[in-house]
Amino acid sequence: MLRVVIVGLGALAALLIVRSLRKAAAEGGDIWAIRIALLVVLPLVGVFALRHALILLQGQEIERLAAPYARYGDPRGALGARAQLAGWLLDCTGEDANAWIGYATENGILSRVAFAGGAGASFVADPEDRFDYTVDRLFAYEMERPRSLLERLQPHPVGTDIRLTLCRTLTRRAHEVLRAAGSTGVVVIGDVETGAILAYAAAQAPDEPPIGVKQYLTPGSINKLMVAGLWWDEGWGDTTVECPASVEAGGRDIRNFRGIALGRLQAPAEVLTFSCNTATVSMAARLRERLGERTFQELYRRAGFTVYQGERADRTDTDFWASGSDSWVRRMSPPAAQVRLSSGTTLHEWGQLSIGQGPIDITVLHEVRLIQAIGNDGIMVKPTIEWSEANNPQEVGRVFRRGTARRLMEAMADVVARGTARSAQAHLGDIGEWSLIGKTGTAQVAGRPDDGWFAGLMVDPDGKPIYTVVVYLREGGPGGSWPARIAAELVSDAIGLAHTP
């Protein structure tokens, strides 16, 4: 209404000027005064209006040019940011009491607080604001969006809450267990059916990229699941294979862990149970001989890998997340899982690939997705951290046949029951009829001790896999028993979750 008044006053003023000058010209009098009015006063109004309009037209460019000056003082930006009341970042429960980030009042000061402290620091929100890729930062735009049409009209609209699939209590527990291990590493727990990430805890330096998302790792023996999966997928039956201490591939030896021979094993199940390198190499060689490289390539592609020849592709997997946030996708899409596989792959390289060494790069999140596919009867879905997305899971495709997935899970159960992860049983605690199944892995990295892996599933009393759990510990090998123990310690916390998508 006031704008109408001011516009009206301006219009009336313009009319009055014209009228005054016309009358003055008609009535005569001193011409100089009229000349000043016509040649100075009115042109200056025009100059002002044009220059003002020009600044508006160049607004974006001026803001761009002025942006570097903000670090020398920006009261406007600082006041705007401080006065803003962004939405809360809620955890999987959707309750304020469990919020990741919200507000708290102390001595009359309303401050934005990261309630989870260090537990969410490397992924959700860092109380010390050291990480530039946290959910809090990347979802800032969404949280600043006014929560209603009415709020848009307010001088300081209240932002929109965002509910994450990440559970604060479970993440805090994972963080505690990880820190107790005293090693750099990551724990990720996900929901099998929806792909929702329920916990992400990392122990890492702030200057490192997010270790579970951005860092290429060698999967080690977890990759044996791919060989075994292909074996069953192609309808090959169980057979007996020898597990010698070492096997020759392409003129070079590939050895078992600690150089031990395990005698004759039921393949592929017992090969997974005891993680026999030499038997896996033999199986992979036999598969290549019968099926060719193309079948392997197709399997890896189904599992979300980029299969390349020659130089590494090094592309970002922008289709990885199910997310409504462009910022999140842009910043937190992992590098594409990739494997170099062709008819030119040497026998030795082929053997190394079968046990997860050599030219194969994967991230922790890709491993989570692969295990999720096994637990979900072979169907892979996109991971997500957003509750709204988790309620509409986006299917990627089928990686394994249903029967193959079942057999892989049986073998994984055997790994924990009597295989390489059996030491984890002592750490399961009171989990009733739930169980933990999985596969251990050792990744050899030149110049430092081996990394340790455990990629598993938490299975409910009905035998249905509910949660994925992947633990990666840098220099946490050899063998995956230590990561497996960490996974085991988290089962009782995970099965207590009441709110999952």
Q: Does 84 bind other proteins (CB under 8 A)?
A: yes
Q: Contacts with other proteins: how many residues (CB under 8 A)? A: 76
Residues 194 and 368 sit within 8 Å (Cβ to Cβ) = no
Residue (68 or 237) nearer to other proteins, CB: 68
CA distances in angstroms from 102 to 113, 116, 124, 323, listed in the order given: 6, 11, 12, 22
Residue (65 or 261) nearer to other proteins, CB: 65
Q: Does 69 bind other proteins (CB under 8 A)?
A: yes
What one-character DSSP code corresponds to residue 203? E
Residue 421 CB, nearest distance to other proteins (Å)?
A: 43
Q: Considering only CA atoms, which of 186, 305, 278, 289 is closest in space to residue 234?
A: 289
Q: Does 94 bind other proteins (CB under 8 A)?
A: no
Residue (102 or 383) nearer to other proteins, CB: 102
Cβ neighbours of 305 (radius 10 Å) = 22
Site map 104..143 versus other proteins, x via CB under 8 A: xx-xxxx---------------------------------
Residue (30 or 430) nearer to other proteins, CB: 30
Residue (54 or 260) nearer to other proteins, CB: 54
The CA angle 418-423-429, to the nearest 5 degrees, is: 110
80: its two tokens: 């705007």
What is the Cα–Cα distance from 205 to 122, expressed in whole angstroms? 9
Backbone phi, psi, residue 408, to 5°: -60, -40
What one-character DSSP code corresponds to residue 463? S
Choose one: 78-86, 340-348, 386-394, 468-476; the region binding other proteins (CB under 8 A): 78-86
Q: Does 145 bind other proteins (CB under 8 A)?
A: no
Site map 442..481 versus other proteins, x via CB under 8 A: ----------------------------------------
Choose one: 17-25, 213-221, 415-423, 455-463; the region binding other proteins (CB under 8 A): 17-25
Cβ neighbours of 11 (radius 10 Å) = 10
Q: For residue 200, what are the β-bridge partners?
A: 188
The CA angle 398-437-455, to the nearest 5 degrees, is: 65
Contacting other proteins within 157-176 (CB under 8 A):
157-158
* Burial of 386 per CB tally in 10 Å (0-12, 13-18, 19+): buried
Residue 78 CB, nearest distance to other proteins (Å)?
A: 7
Residue (41 or 261) nearer to other proteins, CB: 41
β-pair type (338-340, 306-308): parallel
Residue (12 or 260) nearer to other proteins, CB: 12
Residue 386 CB, nearest distance to other proteins (Å)?
A: 21
Residue (49 or 261) nearer to other proteins, CB: 49
144, 154, 438, 499: residue in contact with other proteins (rule CB under 8 A): 154
Residues 349 and 411 sit within 8 Å (Cβ to Cβ) = no
Contacting other proteins within 39-58 (CB under 8 A):
41-42, 44-45, 47-49, 51-53, 55-56
Beta strands in 223-290 (DSSP E): 239-243, 246-249, 252-255, 263-267
